[in-house]
Structure 1
Amino acid sequence: MDFEFIVKIIPQLIAATKHTISLAILSLVISLTLAIIISSIIYYNVKIITPILKVYVSFFRGTPALCQLYLIYFGLGNMGIPFFAKMTGYTAVVIALSLNMSAYMAENLRGALSSVEKGQSEAGISIGMSSLQIFSLVVFPQAFRVAVPSLSNSFVDLVKGSSMAFTIGVAELMASANMAGIATYNFFEAFFVAAIIYWIITICINFLQKMLEKRLNRAY
């Protein structure tokens, strides 16, 4: 174990971590937004759209995230579509992670929505609330509280999933560790430091999850 090398590369890998975190946070915002839309449409069983979204969820849950990334970056990038032809690796990773994780989050939210008793909606109807008010003020807040642990796990998966970005040249944490290993042949030390940083990020996310759960459970 080359401790001198470890001390030397820690600042370099920490600097690269900002790209890992930005990828995860941006993908989380997009994927959660998509998941809320998808789960609500499936929950209310909207005709025509629901079967299409079920296929979407099945595809992105049933295929590897790396394969999806390659389809978006190399596949769509070579089809002559202006947006995808000019797309950067960073953008491709955000799109791939967002689409992939939105499918998992949508299933988690759908299950959470189903856990809310129908009587809650009926009570809302009885006092004259609209369907939108019932969903946004009654059903979704209760479902979200149930879904928090699984959504937090999804965020952890996004952080770890961002490591595949180095396969298309995005300079995030894994790419930085890989380049440091190639330059010095100290692969074990480089990936060991990267693993510790990923672990610390995960611990922080789990801590925030517990704080959020505690806050949401105060009324219960």
Structure 2
Amino acid sequence: MQFDYAYMLGLFPILLKYLGTTMGMAVIGMMFALILAIIIANIRIFKVPVLNGICQLYISFFRGTPLLVQMFLFYYGLPQLIPVLVGINAFTAAVIALTLHFAAYMTESIRAAIIGIDHSQMEASLSIGMTTSQAMRRIILPQAARIAFPSLVNYFIDMIKSTSLAFTLGVAEMMATAQTEASSSFKYLEAFLAVALIYWAIVVILTRIQLFTEQKLNKAYQR
């Protein structure tokens, strides 16, 4: 069989209709993952009793098990033990899995960025009457954000690509659409190459944005 360029080009409008679903999962997952990662990073830094141990166990589990298994666990497994989760839809289950999975990785990046800030910054903040929480919020975290920014963008890019696993739960996103189109036409190469090119384009755009933003953030620190 010859490669059907016309068929592949015709797939792009169809696949792009579901770009909103793909990006929606990634953006929502990233927002909640970032909030969770900041909270856990602070618990780990200040070694909060009991919570620190729980957070270490959480990080170990979600970094040590595949994302696909976690998606199945939230969508198919947990409703057996927690009846209230029976009504959870596939989109929500996928977002929860993405959030918890990537928060476990982002926690360590944020923690390393915070630790990388000179301790004198905290001491100076406390000496002028700030509380520890005020110093973290106003002085430490803004500086740590610049350090952690490149790795956080990389995690966001990885999260966008990982949304393709949501089709296994029945979420109608780009990968699921490509699979459906390929199955109906038997033109698997054209369908999967089309969706691959879309993901690639998204990553290239985000990488350019990342580099531009890094230059802006680092401009004040250049001599």
What TM-score does the superposition give when structure 2 sets the normalisation length?
Answer: 0.95
* Matched ranges for 1:1-220 at <5 A: 1-82=3-84, 84-220=85-221
Deviation for aligned residue 1:128: 1.5
Shift of 1:9: 1.0
Quote the offset at 1:80 in angstroms: 4.8
In the superposition, the TM-score normalised over structure 1's length comes to 0.97
- Taking only the aligned residue pairs, the percentage that are identical comes to 39
Q: How many residues align?
A: 219
> Partners of 1:9 and 1:94 in 2: how far apart?
26
The 2-side partners of 1:62 and 1:205 are apart by 27
Query: Which ranges of 4 or more aligned residues in structure 1 deviate by more than 4 Å?
Result: none
| Aligned residue identity for 1:210 | L
Aligned residues: CA RMSD: 1.0
The amino acid across from 2:72 in the alignment is: Y
Alignment partners' CA distance in 2, 1:117 and 1:56 = 28
Task: Report how far residue 7 of structure 1 moved.
Answer: 1.7
TM-superposition CA deviations, 1:16-61 (whole Å, max 9, x none) = 1111111100101010110111111111111111111011111101
- 8 A contact 1:79–1:85 mirrored in 2: no
- Cα distance in 2 for residues equivalent to 1:48 and 1:173: 42
CA distance in 2, matches of 1:212, 1:93: 29
TM-superposed CA distance for 1:77, in Å, is 2.4
Hey, what's the Cα distance between the residues in 1 that align with 2:142 and 2:82? Answer: 43
